[in-house]
Chain A
C-alpha cells in the first residue's frame, strides 16, 4: 500500500478512499512541517501550517492537476501559508528555543545543534523569498525546476534568488562571525 505512487493515491482519494490520503499525510507531514518551520521559525505555528496545508490539499484535491507532482503542489500550499503567516506577523521572528531537532537528545551532537541554531538565526534575517529558495534547495534537495514549479516563478528567478540568498547568507554569517 505504501509503495503506491502519489498520483495513484490521489486518484484513490478522489474516488472516495480517504485512507489513501492518510498515506500521503504519512509520507509528507514531516517535510511539509519542516518547510513551514524553516520559513517561520515557530514550532507550534509550523504544525498549524502543516495541518492547514493538508486540509486545504484534501479539500481542493479535485482541482489538483494530476500531471503535476503532488509534493510540489503540497509544498506550494505550505510555502504560501508560511508567507501569509509572515505577512500577518509583519516581522521576521527570532529563533525560538523550539527549533532544535526533536530527533536529537540535548547532549547529542551539541555542536551540530548550535550550528543549526546559528544558521537558522541567519536565515531568519534574510528576505522570505530568499529564505524559501534556500530551504527548498538545501533542506529538501529540490531542483531549480521543482522549486520553480512550487513557487510558480521562472527557473531564472529561482536561480537569481538562490544565488543572491547564498551571497547574503555568507555576508550575514561573516558579519556575525559565525
Chain B
C-alpha cells in the first residue's frame, strides 16, 4: 500500500486531509498512522500538507479600512432620495453660499438672512470665495439636510432665503474662480460625507460656526494643501467621527485651530500625512488625547514653532503613532519637558525615539520630568 497505488491514494489522501481537519475517527487516525510508519513517501507528503495547512492558519487577518464601518452604517441610514422639502432646503443653502460669489458682495452680505458667515470686514475676497464656500459646506455638512425642520433651524428659514435669492442674485454675476473646487461639491465622496447625519449636526453648533468665521481658520480653508487634505477619504472619515466632532466644538480646540501658527502647521504636507494616518486619527479620537489637546498648556506647546517643526519630522510622527508614547504625551510633566528646545532636538534623534518607545524608559522620563518641573 503506497501513495503511488491509485486505488489506495484516494483513501490515504482523504485520511490525511481529514486528519489535518481533525475529523478522523480514532480508527481512521490509527490506520493513517500505521500507513505513515510503513511508507516514508506518504509520511513526507503528509508532513508537507500539514506544514501548508499550518502556514495557512498562521496568516494574519487584515484590518479593514477605518472608514468601512461608517460607510456601511451611513448607507443603512441614508435616505433613498431627496424629499421635496430637502431639495428646497438644499436650494436655500446653495443660494446662501452663492451670494459669496457675487461681484456685488458688500450689499449681499448685509442682507443675508442670518449672520452665519458674515463679518465686519467682509470676510471673503472674491478670488477665494469659491474655495471657502466649498470648504464651509464641506465642513459644515449642510448637504443634504437631514430633514426640513433641522435644516431650517440651521440656516435661518427657507422662505427668507428664497426671497433673498430672488432679489439679490443674477446668474450673470456669478463667477466661479475655481472649477476644480466646484467639482468637489458634486463628487461622490463629498456627497457621501455630507449624508452623515452626525456630521450635519456640527453645522448647528454655534461655537463651530464661530470657528468658521475666524479669519485664520478661513485662511486655512482656502489653502490648497488643506483642501487636498479635506478631499482625503481617511481625513473625511475623521471629520465624520463623533468624538472628533465633539473635539472640533470644544472652545480650547477651536482656539488652537484659529491660531495662525497652528493653521500653518495644518498646511504642512508632512503633518497632513500624519493627520491622514489611521493610528494618529485614532489618537485624535482618543478621549484622553482630546483632553490633552484641549489643555491650554498643550495647546501652547502645539503653537510653539519648534514643536511644530518637531511634529513635521517624519521619524517623530512615527513615534507619535506609538501607543506607549501616546500615553506619555498625556503626562503633564512630560508636556513641560517637551517644550524644552534641547529636548526637542533630542526627540528628533532616531535612536532616542526607539528608546522613547520603551515602557520602562517612559516611566523614567515621567519621573525625571516631574523632578525638573
Q: How far is the CA of A37 from the CA of B61 in the complex (A)?
A: 10
Contact B68 A139 (CB under 8 A): no
The answer for the CA separation of A159 and B10 in the assembled complex, in Å, is 12
- Is the Cβ of B23 less than 8 Å from the Cβ of A103? no
For A139, give the chain B residue with the smallest CB separation.
Answer: B59
Instruction: Tell me if A47 is interfacial: C-beta within 8 Å of chain B.
Output: yes
Classify the interface of chain A: helix, strand, loop or mixed.
helix
> Is A138's CB under 8 angstroms from B62's CB?
no
- Considering only residues 69-84 of chain B, those with a C-beta below 8 Å from chain A are 69, 71-73, 75-77
Bound Cα distance from A52 to B57, whole angstroms: 27
Structural contact, A119 and B62, CB atoms closer than 8 A: no
Selected interface stretch from B45-53, B128-136, B138-146, B286-294: B45-53
Q: Contact at B64–A101, with CB atoms within 8 Å?
A: no
Contacts of B17 in A (CB 8 A): 159, 162-163, 166
Partner of B61, one of A22, A34, A55, A170: A34
Q: Which of A21, A31, A51, A116 contacts B59 (CB 8 A)?
A: A116
What is the interface of chain B, defined by CB distance below 8 A to chain A?
13-14, 17, 20-21, 23, 48-49, 52-53, 55-65, 67-69, 71-73, 75-77, 278
A55 lies within 8 A of B75 (CB): yes
A residues less than 8 Å from B57 (CB atoms): 138
Q: In the bound complex, do residue A33 and residue B23 qualify as a contact, i.e. CB atoms below 8 Å apart?
A: no
| Contact partner, B49, options A58, A101, A116, A166, Cβ 8 Å | A166
Across the interface, A103 reaches (CB within 8 A) one of B13, B61, B73, namely B61
Question: Hey, which chain A residues are within 8 Å of B13, CB to CB?
Answer: 163, 167
Q: A26-B69, A55-B76 are in contact. Are A34 and B58 (CB under 8 A)?
A: no
A47 touches B14 (CB 8 A): no
30 contacts between A and B (CB under 8 A): A18-B77, A29-B68, A29-B72, A30-B61, A30-B64, A33-B62, A43-B65, A46-B64, A47-B64, A47-B67, A47-B68, A51-B75, A54-B75, A54-B76, A55-B75, A58-B75, A58-B76, A101-B60, A101-B62, A101-B63, A102-B278, A103-B61, A115-B59, A134-B56, A138-B57, A138-B59, A139-B56, A166-B17, A166-B52, A170-B52
Question: Nearest 9 CB-CB pairs, A to B?
Answer: A138-B56, A102-B63, A101-B60, A33-B64, A163-B17, A54-B72, A116-B59, A55-B75, A47-B65
Chain B residues with CB below 8 A from A31, complex form: 61
B77 CB contacts on chain A under 8 angstroms: 18
A173–B55 alpha-carbon span in the complex (Å):
12
Residues of B within 8 A of A163 (CB): 13-14, 17
Q: Is the CB of B69 within 8 A of A166?
A: no
Choose from B23, B53, B62, B76 the contact partner of A34 (Cβ within 8 Å). Answer: B62
State which of A51, A159, A173 has its C-beta within 8 Å of the C-beta of B52: A173
- Tell me the bound Cα distance from A167 to B13 in angstroms: 9
A50 in contact (CB, < 8 A): yes
**Residue of B with least CB distance to A44:** B65
A99 at the interface (CB under 8 A from B): yes
